[in-house]
Structures are given as structure tokens and as C-alpha cells.
Structure 1
Amino acid sequence: MADQQRADARRNYARILAVAEQEVAAHGADASLERIARVAGVGSATVRRHFPGRQALLEAVFRERIESLCARAEALADAADARAALLDWLGGLTEYSASARGMAEALVQDRLVEPEQVSACSVKLEGAIEPLLRRVAEQGAVAPGVTAADLVTLVTGIALATEHHSDPAAEGRRLLDLTVRGVSPSH
């Protein structure tokens, strides 16, 4: 019986987190906990049991997406077309950044996450994409001197620039494509 309860709790946690990701993507850091509970098919008490407040839920969504992006970079590291793999990953980072409207700011503002932790996430992303960027550079498919930190910073700038756009994801993608032409012109 206890194993069944733990399994149910794990499924509820995963379902709540998946719905929270979608809601944060749609509504930013102000996503409604009540709506998340309703869409996940659980009671608000279940959400609070797993995530005592909005900040805890935002932190879990933030951490989950960072881990997912790092895993994606690792999966792409050995792709035959390193440039296409890098552009795919940058597109995913741009999409995530556009969908995470206000999340990092909300976490820092509420002092749940220190600014250094947000910076640590950038460093983690940079480290994850570094092997792929190195392969792209070896193939001569990126401008000399481009670093992983440069790429993460560019995507962060795009996310900030498009935050209040009517379609931040589409505008982010357009600006990323424009940026890529300068960073890694196709041959």
C-alpha cells in the first residue's frame, strides 16, 4: 500500500510539474496555482503538499527546464551535423526563454533564489553546450571567438527584448535567426 501511495505521489508531482511548465509558458510567473491543480486533475492541497507556494513551484519548473536543456545539449553533442545541432539547441533555449516570462525575476525578487543561483544556471547551460560548440568551431562553422557564454547571453538578450511582444516565441525565433547569420553564417 505504501509503495502505491509513493507511486501516486510521484505521478502527481510529475503531472503537476508538467502542467505548471505549460501554464508558466502561457501566463509567465503569474500562472495560477488553482488552475494548475485543476488542469493536473488534483486538488489544490495536493499541489501545496508538493510545492508549498508559487515560488517553490517556479523553482521546480525552472530547475526542470535547465536540466532538460542540459540533457538535450548532451544528446546533441555527437550529432553528425554539429552546426544544425547547435542551432536546434539554441532554438530550444530561445523558446524556453520566451516562455519563461518573468520567472527568474520572480524567483530572485521573492528571494527564493539568489541572483548567483540564476547565474549558476547560465554557467551550467554554458558548460552543457560547450562540447557541441567546440565541435562546431572545429568544423569552421562558427565565427572565431564565439563562446558558450556569448550564445547564452545573446538568447537572454533576445528573451528580454521580446518579453512584451505579442508573440515572444515567434519574435525570439526571428531574432535568433538574424543573430545566427552573424555568429555562424551557413556555408
Structure 2
Amino acid sequence: MSAARTAATGAKPATRGDLPPLPAAKPTRADARRNYDLLVTAAREAFAEHGTDTSLEEIARRAGVGIGTLYRRFPSRTALLEAVYVDEIQSVCDRAYGFHEKLEPFEALAAWMRSFVGYNVSKKSLSHELMTALGKDSEFFKSCKLNVRDAGELLLNTAKEDGAVRSDLRLEDVLRLIGGFTMLPDIAPEQANRMLDIVIAGLRKTD
């Protein structure tokens, strides 16, 4: 819902207050949180450049901290992978609530779907490694999926109420369509975006 629509209807902007917390919560102490953020940022960049098998020593070097600091915060590679994954999921959800507040319903849904496709294409190796370590039915993935689902359903339901999309749409169908092509091993971002254009066009309500 755009700011104008919010003002006109008196509706409150969406918040994440009622959602269960994502796993791997950040520390609250300022210095610990600073090191946490430095390490997660360094890991995300290193994984994007060199893959998830980047050495922990290299990640600590990029973050400007000692390897002991890394291990105190993340006692295993899997723990660091979890933190990077959660950070990305948090961004996916935050973008949904931001789009809901600032854009018209259909544009908000389409913008979020585009950001979600970009996330899926770029984080395939990270997702695969975590699924291997934790299992796809783990509580970790259940919590992440619940947060993504609630964020996406907010946008989809708002677009339905606005009459902008088909009334029979379900978020599960939309996410499966996206997942069907973004998880292909050799898909290029350009092709993924073209396929998403087709999916988005099919969401619109027809008379």
C-alpha cells in the first residue's frame, strides 16, 4: 500500500511485529554486533566471489578481525552459513514490507518477485550447502520459509483486494513457479528475468 493509499484509508503500515523471529539472531552488545555484522558482510561477499568453500581465515581477514573472534561468534562453517542465509532472508522480508508501504499493490508484488528471483539465482550454492548440512525440513528452514511466506502473502492478498491480480492465486503457486526456473543449474540472470516477466504477466486479473 502506498503512502497515499495508507493516508486515504487510514490503514496502518505493515510491520513484522507478529512474526516469529528468524533463527541466528544478532547479538545485542554493541561491540559483538559490530563484529557479527563485519563477519556476515565479509562472508556474503566472499561467498559471492569465490563460493561457499572460501576459507574462514580469508573471511576473518576481509572482516578485519582475528580468526579467534570469528570462531567465538561462529563456532563452525555451518553457523556462519546460517547467519549469511538469515541476513539475506531478512532483506527479502524487509523489502516486501517496504514495497507494501511505498508502492501500489501490483507494483509492490512485482517488485518483490523480482528481488526474490535475484536472491534465488545468486544464493543457490548457499542454500544447497545448508540443506545438505541441516536437511530441508529442519526447523531452521521452516522458520525462514514462514517469514518469507507471511511477507509474500501480505503483498499478494493486498493485490487481490485491489483487484489487480487473479483471485484464485496462491502464494505457494507463485513461489513454485519462481523456484522452478531459478533453481536450474545453468540459468543466467537475464533468462531468469525474462521468464519472470511471463509469470508476472500471468498474474493480472482479466475481464
When the two structures are superposed, what TM-score results if normalisation uses the length of structure 1?
0.81
Structure 2: gaps (5+ residues): 1-28
SS at match of 2:101: coil
CA contact (8 A) 2:167 2:205 kept: no
Equivalent of 1:40, from 63, 68, 71? Answer: 63
Query: Does 2:27 align with 1:7?
Result: no
Show the counterpart of 2:192.
172
Residues 141, 124 of structure 1: CA spacing in aligned structure 2 closer, same or farther, 3 A cutoff? Answer: same
Query: Would you say how many aligned residue pairs link Structure 1 and Structure 2?
Result: 178
d(CA) in 2 for partners of 1:74 and 1:159?
A: 23
Does residue 143 (structure 1) correspond to residue 163 (structure 2)? The answer is no
Is 1:22–2:42 an aligned residue pair? no
Instruction: Answer 1 or 2: which has greater helix percent.
Output: 1
Q: Which runs of 5+ in 1 are unaligned?
A: 1-5
Counterpart for residue 110 of structure 1: 133
Superposition deviation, residue 153 in structure 1:
1.9
Correspondence for 2:86 among 43, 63, 73: 63
Residues 88 and 36 (structure 1), Cα distance of their counterparts in 2 relative to 1, 3 Å cut: same
77-86 or 20-29, which moves further after superposition?
A: 20-29
Change (3 A) 1:29 1:134: same
Moved more, 11-20 or 69-78: 69-78
Deviation at 1:80, TM superposition (A): 4.0
Whether 2:105 is the aligned partner of 1:82: answer yes
For 1:170 and 1:33, the matched residues in 2 are separated by: 32
Distance verdict in 2 for CA 1:79–1:150, change over 3 Å: farther
Runs of 4 or more above 6 Å deviation: none
Larger mean CA deviation between 16-25 and 53-62 belongs to 16-25
Measure the CA separation in 1 of the matches of 2:150 and 2:40: 25
Structure 2 counterpart of 1:88, which letter? A
CA contact (8 A) 2:78 2:133 kept: yes
**CA root-mean-square deviation:** 2.5
- How far apart, in 2, do the equivalents of 1:154 and 1:24 lie? 26
State the AA in 1 paired with 2:75: P
Q: TM-score, normalised by structure 2?
A: 0.74
